[in-house]
């Protein structure tokens, strides 16, 4: 079965500082990996995804993530935090093609300090 672990339920960074949100996965087969963002009272929005190919994936709003098979990790980064990045971030995994179920982590709430 697939699962994800997000280390740190709350992360605070100063505006302009590096954002690093951690995600480790467990999968018996090559996974598809995703990061979603959820703003208050809104649905989830896809930030980026890894399926196959290049292990460094760029997403929207300046975020990127690197798939590291040896470390079973898919950490999310952004070089310079902006106030508008304050939100809840979810890492998710699913099996390769043909399997529809997404398994989400418990989320990391990102707070930006002015």
Partner 1 sequence: DTGVSQDPRHKITKRGQNVTFRCDPISEHNRLYWYRQTLGQGPEFLTYFQNEAQLEKSRLLSDRFSAERPKGSFSTLEIQRTEQGDSAMYLCASSLGGELFFGEGSRLTVL
User: In whole angstroms, how close is the CB of 43 to partner 1 at the nearest point?
Assistant: 4
Do 28 and 19 touch, CB atoms closer than 8 A?
A: no
Query: Distance (Å, rounded) from C-alpha 103 to C-alpha 1?
Result: 9
Contact residue for partner 1 among 1, 54, 70, 100 (CB under 8 A): 100
Residue 22 in the binding site for partner 1 (CB under 8 A): no
User: In whole angstroms, how close is the CB of 114 to partner 1 at the nearest point?
Assistant: 26
DSSP 22: E
DSSP 102: -
Contact residue for partner 1 among 26, 45, 52, 80 (CB under 8 A): 45
């Amino acid at each position: 079965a697939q699962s994800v672990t997000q280390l740190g339920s709350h992360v605070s960074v100063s505006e302009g500082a590096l954002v690093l949100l951690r995600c480790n996965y467990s999968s018996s087969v090559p996974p598809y990996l995703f990061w979603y963002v959820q703003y208050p009272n809104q649905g989830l929005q896809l930030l980026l995804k890894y399926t196959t190919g290049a292990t460094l994936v760029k997403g929207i709003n300046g975020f990127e993530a690197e798939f590291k098979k040896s470390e079973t990790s898919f950490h999310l980064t952004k070089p310079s935090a902006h106030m508008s990045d304050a939100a809840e971030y979810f890492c998710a995994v699913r099996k390769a093609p043909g399997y529809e179920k997404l398994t989400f982590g418990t989320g990391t709430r990102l707070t930006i300090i002015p």
